[in-house]
A = this chain, B = another copy of it.
């Protein structure tokens, strides 16, 4: 058991064939006759042979690794995406190599260089706001690339995402329809996606002529439920007349709900609340909280599928997928009877 690991050469010797044949039996089975293939498989099982990925990568100048660059491992949003990625990749022989950019373009660029040096089979990157250098690296990459989470008209290669602007805009319009007029925006972290949500929100309010600067409250801190409480308190002190809050994500929204409960502010009549992402808990909160459902897992799945197709040479696929969103209207924002 603790002997030297079996090599392809060992398999070849025992099977009475050349290493070339064993290699082919593994990677291009139809080039090897049935009997020889069976014999080789027997020996492999018997020896418990596992190919050495480093040797394979070195010899073939490619890997079976898909690099994934996300800004955070703890954010629910990205862990859902990851789950989608893993679920599809499990059925293929690809590995994933995770890179955590910590919301830093510099870090992303650095990781990109590391990843590219390994000649990955494919790359998944988050968002559309890469640094110019990173973008150049990606454009010149010798592997397919999928940008996820967002879409625009300028893909590096492929993309699957949705419009955060439209999601926020739809939500704001819903609040307006419900008769809310003093609508605040609560945003944390303020990454590019958050910024675009703020854009959609502002545009909707401006169209309706009810945009007020003082109702926009943001912070660079990462968002938490507690931060939702704090930001909402801030809004209340600045603008006691606020009658609805659009939260950049569900953690904040839950915080607002908790804070409202504490202050005996009645939701949704006195205060409307909307979140973003539609985490599971939104539907069972009390009252249930409206939110923009996003298809995080699906984005991960699709991204990988596009990558696998591209790697397999099926190029003519669609290269840009708007996966959409779904505004889920729940009691927290239903003021009309």
> Which A residues between 127 and 177 are near B, CB-CB below 8 angstroms?
140
Closest-CB distance, A72 to chain B (whole angstroms): 8
Q: Is the CB of B286 within 8 A of A261?
A: yes
Classify chain A's interface size. Answer: 35 or more
> Which A residues between 236 and 262 are near B, CB-CB below 8 angstroms?
251, 254-255, 258-259, 261-262
Q: Which chain B residues lie closer than 8 Å to A117 at the CB level?
A: 5, 50-53
Complex Cα spacing A2 to B226, Å: 49
Number of identical monomers bound together in the oligomeric complex = 2
Q: Is the CB of B54 within 8 A of A58?
A: yes
Closest-CB distance, A290 to chain B (whole angstroms): 16
Q: Mark A1-38, 1 if CB is under 8 A from B, else 0.
A: 11001000000000000000000000000000000000
Q: Contact check: which of B55, B76, B255 meets A58 at CB < 8 Å?
A: B55
Complex Cα spacing A82 to B254, Å: 25
Task: Flag whether A91 is at the interface (Cβ < 8 A).
Answer: no
Complex Cα spacing A76 to B229, Å: 21
Complex Cα spacing A140 to B80, Å: 35
Task: Flag whether A218 is at the interface (Cβ < 8 A).
Answer: no
Q: Which chain B residues lie closer than 8 Å to A2 at the CB level?
A: 140
The chain B residue sitting closest to A1, CB to CB, is: B140
Closest-CB distance, A188 to chain B (whole angstroms): 13
Q: Is the CB of B118 within 8 A of A100?
A: no
Q: Contact check: which of B50, B63, B97 meets A54 at CB < 8 Å?
A: B63
Q: Mark A70-83, 1 if CB is under 8 A from B, else 0.
A: 00011010011011
Q: Is the CB of B76 within 8 A of A82?
A: no
Q: Is the CB of A258 within 8 A of B284?
A: yes
Closest-CB distance, A65 to chain B (whole angstroms): 9
Q: Contact check: which of B55, B86, B284 meets A226 at CB < 8 Å?
A: B284
Q: Is the CB of A73 within 8 A of B82?
A: yes
Q: Is the CB of A280 within 8 A of B224?
A: yes
Complex Cα spacing A228 to B76, Å: 19
Closest-CB distance, A60 to chain B (whole angstroms): 9
Complex Cα spacing A73 to B98, Å: 12
Complex Cα spacing A111 to B229, Å: 42
Task: Flag whether A114 is at the interface (Cβ < 8 A).
Answer: yes
Task: Flag whether A285 is at the interface (Cβ < 8 A).
Answer: yes
Task: Flag whether A184 is at the interface (Cβ < 8 A).
Answer: no
Q: Which chain B residues lie closer than 8 Å to A315 at the CB level?
A: none
Q: Which chain B residues lie closer than 8 Å to A1 at the CB level?
A: 140
Interface-centre pick from A98, A114, A118, A254 (highest chain B CB count, 10 A): A98
Once A98-B98, A280-B226, A281-B254 are accepted as A-B contacts, the answer to whether A118 and B286 lie under 8 Å apart by CB is: no
7 A-B pairs closest in CB distance: A54-B57, A50-B117, A225-B281, A54-B58, A261-B286, A226-B284, A74-B79
A-B contact pairs, 5 of them (CB 8 A): A53-B117, A54-B118, A58-B58, A224-B280, A255-B281
